[in-house]
Structure 1
């Protein structure tokens, strides 16, 4: 395979779909991991129309073995993974007095723990210059108490990205969390396409300008 490859984990119609399309127009082939076949099929057709070869895996990424197997199969098929983009998080509308420990751990397994599974599975296929990106959120610093687990997820995944970046940087692989400091909308500075552009810019920076967190404020 000579074309670069991005794998999008938690692929859907929002930011993750925009990220996939943004990389496709730059000549990337795309692997999609998601939980909704209809969404994956629709996104896959849009990517193919942009010239990308597309692979899909219908998978619950909180199923650790299933997530690892899906990434491994994609890596074996393409022979390389140049960018791994991680998007998922759980929105559960419960404040700290109603949120249970089990619910918190379930949400963290999706929004944080699944990143470990896919990074570890992708690593054998990532060479020098490969990148890992995560859709971050201002909820990491200013959580809404009505959805308390979301802030925990976003703070946790950002912290994990810092550790991943430090671990892999000696091999020339870098990781970044793009902190979206605004609310996603259909118009204005926080559309999924604008956020995807910020993620593209963060991933393709010169290594001399690298930092493992990049804020996007519109």
Structure 2
């Protein structure tokens, strides 16, 4: 049975992706920090007929994240699809001239250490399967840095570079690495940034397996 692990799952995009992949027969593993909210999300999706389990971890604590992914593999088998899409903290978005080196610790832990730890945990299983997909989801500052959002601009750039390197290195092994850049907020009912529309885009990226960076909407939207 194929499985997807969604890191940073919430009631918006995470739930929509769980529904999309769940309808395709995937077992779904959700990773989030808040156990109460996670249990509510799992219960709601299970009531819709989705095979889903919840696992707690803070992405800024790599040991927690790797342990959760290890538990997922033990429960559901090797992770075939990894989606890394936690929502950044507001305090990562300081103006560049107000950003000191200590202000970058959180963003780098969140957007670099987290995905690196997650990828290294799931990659052996993907290699055993002979296939896999790694999906990185970022805001618009991953493509165009913003002077008032220095932390995410810098950390997303590093995450993008890491993902692009993986894309080039792993393509020959049947493992596809891609990034979805979502300019602006995720908006229910929006033609291009509704959670279900974004989930459909991510499913298409998993299926089509071409290119690294994809855009959910125009950058000036």
Report the equivalent of 2:41.
43
Of 150, 153, 158, the match for 1:151: 153
Cα pair 1:95 1:146 within 8 Å, conserved: yes
SS in 1 for 2:115: helix
SS in 2 for 1:146: coil
Cα pair 1:133 1:175 within 8 Å, conserved: yes
List per-residue Cα deviations over 1:137-186 (Å, max 9, x = no partner): 22123233222111222222221111112222222111100122343223
Structure 1 residue 105: deviation in Å?
A: 2.0
SS in 2 for 1:204: helix
Of 65, 68, 71, the match for 2:69: 71
Instruction: Map residues 95-114 of structure 1 onto 2, 5 A cutoff.
Output: 95-114=95-114
Cα pair 1:18 1:192 within 8 Å, conserved: yes
CA distance in 1 between counterparts of 2:124 and 2:45 reads: 26
Structure 1 residue 214: deviation in Å?
A: 1.5
CA distance in 2 between counterparts of 1:215 and 1:166 reads: 19
Report the equivalent of 1:192.
195
User: Normalized against structure 1, the TM-score is what?
Assistant: 0.90
User: Normalized against structure 2, the TM-score is what?
Assistant: 0.89
Cα pair 2:82 2:135 within 8 Å, conserved: yes
SS in 1 for 2:70: helix
Alignment RMSD (CA, Å): 1.7
Report the equivalent of 1:91.
90
- With over 3 angstroms needed to count, the CA separation of the structure-2 counterparts of 1:198 and 1:76, relative to structure 1, is same
Report the equivalent of 1:8.
6
Instruction: Map residues 46-65 of structure 1 onto 2, 5 A cutoff.
Output: 46-65=44-63
Aligned length: 213
1:176 aligns to 2:157 (yes or no) = no
Cα pair 1:90 1:111 within 8 Å, conserved: no
Cα pair 2:27 2:76 within 8 Å, conserved: no
List per-residue Cα deviations over 1:72-98 (Å, max 9, x = no partner): 111122222110000023332411122
1:212 aligns to 2:212 (yes or no) = yes
CA distance in 1 between counterparts of 2:168 and 2:85 reads: 21
CA distance in 1 between counterparts of 2:160 and 2:120 reads: 17
SS in 2 for 1:170: helix
Cα pair 1:24 1:47 within 8 Å, conserved: no
1:80 aligns to 2:82 (yes or no) = no
Gaps of 5+ in 2: none
CA distance in 2 between counterparts of 1:99 and 1:14 reads: 30
